[in-house]
Structure 1
Amino acid sequence: MKSFVYLIALLSLNIFSQAKYITKTGSVNFEASVPSFEEVRAKNNSVTAIFNAENSEFAALVLVKGFRFKNALMEEHFNENYAESTKFPKATFKGKIIHDSNENWIEGTLTFHGKSKRIQIVPITYSLDNNVVEISGNFDVNASDFDIKIPKIVKNKISESVNVSFVFSLKLN
């Protein structure tokens, strides 16, 4: 009887785990550039994300110090003065993917710099092929939404509006 219970438990875990897709190499980029000034853009190519196909829940975890800039000094200022990545080392997104006829959307909560903001209905590109889910899209947030203050001395060189883009290729777990 014990063996039967263990077998059922193992099969149940296997069945439920089949609906989960995961990556540790997702990409999140952001840009807060202003025309005629130095580009304010960063990339992070080691983002962890998970998608549960059973209930359409999606979550991503970004290590803030993983963002890379072209300019090392800009990266240092970002980590020390804006993101305060020692104090707030992670950014997260938790939400749900919505499939509506031929369109796909994502909505959820973005947490960054210790503050959370609800991200409403963002169109995404979504595909499932050969046990790989591809998800990409972008949205805009304001630095002030996360209590990030841009000093007056650089206010005209950094946009208050930040475009966040993401690309995930999640494999069946």
Structure 2
Amino acid sequence: MKNTAFLMLSLLSLATAFAQDKVLTKTGKVTFEASVPSFEEVKANHKAVTCILNTKTGEIASLILVKGFQFKVALMEEHFNENYIESDKFPKATFKGKIENFDWDKITAQPQDYTIKGKIELHGKSKDVVLASKIKKSGNGIEITSNFTLNPEDFDIQIPSLVRAKVAKNVAVRLDFILL
């Protein structure tokens, strides 16, 4: 009986220690904007993005269910899902990468500049990216923010000629994650 109790306590301690090597969020925020001056705003928000970070290695991964992007105009959201991103065929976007020179013990409450290198997969295509990011301590976890641009052509996302002048060639993306 003592051996069983000791084994259970050891496994619980090991699981707790392992869990401390990872922080995550299921409420990350991603915003993108492809607006062009003098035309209707092309902007969407997603507030249920999953992201996990290994605090020992700096490896990071994120998952977005693309139907979760919300636009101000319902018709724009419908066109985004059906005609551009084809969310029934390509329901998710992913990112896998690593934060360069990441050291959990050196993260402070003041934002610091970091580079995240990785691969974005969207619309069935992959692209290597380098993201300039700000990282800081936030309570028991960390906050990661980044602004970068993506080109729809890199992911074989076709913008019909009828609306091409109304949509920016490069899409501005912002991510805000608080991982605990």
TM-score normalised according to structure 2 size:
0.88
Any gaps of 5 or more consecutive residues in structure 2? 107-111
The answer for the alignment partner of 2:149 in structure 1 is 140
The answer for the alignment partner of 1:97 in structure 2 is 99
Shift of 1:162: 0.8
Shift of 1:26: 0.5
The answer for the alignment partner of 1:165 in structure 2 is 174
**CA deviation map 1:34-87 (0-9, x unaligned):** 111111110001111111101111111111010011111100000000000011
- Provide the C-alpha distance between the structure 1 equivalents of 2:45 and 2:100, rounded to a whole number of angstroms: 26
Letter in 2 for 1:149: Q
| Structure with greater strand percent | 1
Match of 2:37 among 6, 24, 35: 35
Give the 4+ runs in structure 1 shifted more than 6 A.
Answer: none
Alignment of 1:12-161 (within 5 A): 12-99=14-101, 103-120=113-130, 122-161=131-170
- The size of the alignment, in residue pairs, is 170
- Provide the C-alpha distance between the structure 2 equivalents of 1:117 and 1:19, rounded to a whole number of angstroms: 28
Shift of 1:103: 2.9
TM-score normalised according to structure 1 size:
0.92
**CA deviation map 1:6-52 (0-9, x unaligned):** 43333222111112111111001111111111111100011111111
- Provide the C-alpha distance between the structure 1 equivalents of 2:36 and 2:179, rounded to a whole number of angstroms: 33
Secondary structure in 1 matching 2:100: strand
- Provide the C-alpha distance between the structure 2 equivalents of 1:19 and 1:27, rounded to a whole number of angstroms: 23
Percent identical pairs in the alignment equals 51
Shift of 1:123: 1.5
- Provide the C-alpha distance between the structure 2 equivalents of 1:138 and 1:67, rounded to a whole number of angstroms: 17
